[in-house]
Amino acid sequence: MGARKRGAAMRWLDRYQERRTTADEAVKVIDSGHRVLVHSGCAMPVPLIEAMVRRADELRNVEVTHILTFGEAPYMDPKYEGVFRHRALFIGANARKAISEGRADAMGVHLSEVPGLFRDGTLPLDVALIQVSPPDEHGFCSYGVDIGTNKAGAESAKYVIAQVNPKMPRALGDSFIHVSKIHAFVEDERDIHEMPQFVFNPEDPTNRVPLTIGENIVSLIEDGSTLQMGIGIIPDAVLHHLRGKRDLGVHSEMFSDGVVDLVDEGVINNEKKTLHRGKIVAGFVLGTKKTYEFIDNNPILEFRPTEYVNDIFIISQHENMVAINSAIEVDL
């Protein structure tokens, strides 16, 4: 290592060491009236959230905002009414009760537009709580399993607290934050949240309808198509039936274990994509350890924020683009 490179490495490493702290100490920066961003999806920084909630007696009117998250969200407990209030930018299962009871707010917005709300000050952020991989030799940490809207949030917040977790995969693409942009580091190695996956079982009566729907949908998908998959059992069932297809690609805000299986089997190779040929482009993953191991330092993947992945102009540049999603209700 040359002297210049060694000097640069020492500077960011010194900064990292100086800013290492505990979760309880880090969240003392949160004050009453603050808006706090929580890293979404399977990347929820649980130790930081727990530490924030432990300060409930000291705080009032703290808004906690994020997209879909999984696992416990203790700040939505009724006993914290007046202390924390959640603003849901995507309503998840852990937020529905609070929203229906009027203790949390739902804000309808396209995923592609959320980063702009952070950047232009429509939703100014005081503190961002994120979870990242350890820094590489150049001082860059990866947002790991969820870049999505979180990159813009962390870049826009006045203060950034990061849980640094060696179990967080190093996702490649536009998915990094430098140590110099983070104000406090909390090292914690707990497991990354895993999302339950669709299990193929034709004998299970709950699987028969999704599998039948999936089989019908597959007949509409041509070889060489580029796929977008949403959340839910229907997209997962479709993936199960795609094993007879060839040269499929992926440009999707998210994917899960089913895509990993199709890559392993050679069904998805991205060779026919008209944009980012050879690459899976995505914003986040909702999977299990299998998916997390797959995305770690994998050059087939190019993670991008949702303002890019979900941009209609970018999507329109793909030939044979197929979107597979579930709907709770359709207004005809």
- How much is the average pLDDT of 114-126? 97
Determine the pLDDT at residue 305.
Answer: 98
- Under 8 Å between Cβ of 229 and 239: yes
Catalytic residue among 25, 194, 222, 253: 253
Determine the pLDDT at residue 5.
Answer: 59
* pLDDT tens per residue across span 18-38: 999 999 999 999 999 999 999
Percent of all residues in the chain with a pLDDT value above 90, rounded to a whole number = 81
CA dist., res. 249 & res. 144, Å (int): 21
Determine the pLDDT at residue 41.
Answer: 94
Determine the pLDDT at residue 234.
Answer: 82
Q: Which residue has the higher pLDDT, 10 or 5?
A: 10
pLDDT higher than 60, residue 2:
no
Quote the tokens at residue 204. Answer: 């299970």
**Alpha carbon separation from 161 to 39, 124, 128, 227, 307 (Å, rounded):** 11, 16, 6, 35, 23
Determine the pLDDT at residue 204.
Answer: 80
Determine the pLDDT at residue 199.
Answer: 74
Q: Which residue has the higher pLDDT, 181 or 241?
A: 181
- Written out in words, the top-level CATH class of the domain with range 3-187 is alpha beta
> How deeply is 331 buried, as exposed, middle or buried, from its count of CB atoms within 10 A (0-12, 13-18, 19+)?
exposed
Q: What is the pTM of this model?
A: 0.93
Quote the tokens at residue 161. Answer: 């607290």
Determine the pLDDT at residue 1.
Answer: 52
Q: Which residue has the higher pLDDT, 302 or 4?
A: 302
- Which residues are registered as beta bridge partners of 254? 229, 284
Quick one: pLDDT band at residue 120, thresholds 50, 70, 90?
very high
CA dist., res. 217 & res. 80, Å (int): 45
> What does the longest C-alpha to C-alpha distance in the chain come to?
67
Closest CA to 256 of 274, 233, 276, 222: 233
The question of whether 271 is a catalytic residue gets the answer no
pLDDT higher than 80, residue 47:
yes
- How much is the average pLDDT of 201-229? 88
- Written out in words, the top-level CATH class of the domain with range 205-324 is alpha beta
Question: How many helical (H) and strand (E) elements, i.e. helices and strands, does the chain have?
Answer: 12, 14
Give span(s): CATH 3.40.1080.10, the chain: 3-187
Determine the pLDDT at residue 261.
Answer: 93
- What DSSP character marks residue 249? E
Give span(s): CATH 3.30.750.70, the chain: 205-324
Which residues fall within 8 angstroms of residue 146, CB to CB, at 6 or more apart? Answer: 39, 40, 41, 42, 43, 283, 284, 285
* pLDDT tens per residue across span 138-162: 999 999 999 999 999 999 999 999 9
* pLDDT tens per residue across span 275-312: 999 999 999 999 999 999 999 999 999 999 999 999 99
